[in-house]
Amino acid sequence: MAKKELPFTQSQLTEIIRRYPTPFHIYDEAGIRRNVRKLLAAFAWAPAFKEYFAVKATPNPSILRILREEGLGADCSSMAELVLAEMAGIVGEEIMFTSNNTPAEEYRKARELGAIINLDDISHIDYLEKHAGIPEIISFRYNPGPLLKNGNAIIGYPEEAKYGLTKAQIFEAYRIMRDKGVKRFGIHTMVISNELNPDCFIATANMMFDLIIEIKEKLGIAMEFVNFGGGIGIPYRPEDEPVDLNYVGQGIRQAYEAKIVPNGLHPLRLAMECGRLITGPYGYLVSTVLHKKEIYKNYVGLDACMANLMRPALYGAYHHITVVGKEHLPLDHVYDVTGSLCENNDKFAINRPLPAIDIGDIVVIHDTGAHGYAMGFNYNGKLRSAELLLKENGEVELIRRAETMADYFATLDVPANKLMLAAATSKE
């Protein structure tokens, strides 16, 4: 059972809102650091274990700097994410660059930073060589296709997913790179997302260890590292159990000692690229109730919307909701909790039992620390919210300001005086 608690008191939150109007995302630094240490401890036995944080989950340099201090690298998949890693002081082989349908300039930037490039398709070998050159170390993403049946709406089932190389292509790709003179190799997969069953991660490790052994036998290539991807879920629902990381770590250790060691492949560096696991439980979307509506259903309208948190609309995902100051009242009302977009799926909750809600109440939506702000957009001209950091010492730092009307119109040919007027008007 996952307890859904807040890292701040009602009075602390009131003071934060006085300084920073809702809506905003706020991240708990202490919780994030604790979470990182749990993961690293679970793999302390492994040779040079590396967690490459999935920048896409929480693309903010302040968060990345915290994670760099804890020893994490960065999993990047775009130019902007590479630049964010660089801004946070994460460079060289501390970056794993895994992208798909990749433009040449992104490969060149990855080469400039010294990142490990993880190719998504066999055709990208020639493309990479032509536009950026062959690096010292190379990796390929494996897609087991029909050999593996699990998957979900987020990542797709392997046979239907656009990612990675087939098993036959994997062998051909490594042969090509070996013949081109590459001496250092790694391998990657990512076949599950937001998974709570710990045995799935152990099964993935076994699958990859078997493949690594086969590659060594057929091609004479010994892998330097294996990246199991991310995919470790978090308990979004209070009744969910979090993944037992120690269980996962020990299960993979048993597989490693049974397969990698006796086949002369030790030391093999293990890596993961979790995002949601690291920051997800320690981010919160704070919003104010603007309206109530009673028609065929009862609705609560927030000053946040799908632009601030897309997951419930996109996946039907559950996010727990706390009405601040009413945590101990009976859940004797049923509401749809909505935003203001002109889309009926702009809802944070549907038929959710909650205490009686009044206009002006503060609502906190839990577990928005990953794929929350990051997935935002500007549909209906909605401006993206601020991001705050609740520091270990209890202070609150603005780590991304809220967008303004001037930001929204910045890419249009609009006279500066009109932009200034619009921005000023929006603050009134």
Instruction: Provide the 3-class DSSP secondary structure of residue 183.
Output: coil
- 35: exposed, middle or buried (C-beta count within 10 Å: 0-12, 13-18, 19+)? buried
Could you count the other beta carbons within 10 Å of the beta carbon of residue 331?
Answer: 12
CB 184 within 8 A of CB 268: no
Distance CA 136, CA 116 (A): 9
Q: Is residue 342 annotated as part of the catalytic site, yes or no?
A: yes
List CB contacts of 51: < 8 A, sequence separation 6 or more.
Answer: 36, 39, 40, 71, 72, 73, 271, 272, 273, 274, 278
Phi/psi zone of residue 246: left (φ > 0), alpha (ψ -120 to 50 degrees), beta?
Answer: alpha
Distance CA 389, CA 283 (A): 9
Single-letter code of the amino acid located at 269: R
Could you count the other beta carbons within 10 Å of the beta carbon of residue 403?
Answer: 18
Distance CA 383, CA 50 (A): 36
8-state DSSP, 256: I
The catalytic residue positions are 342
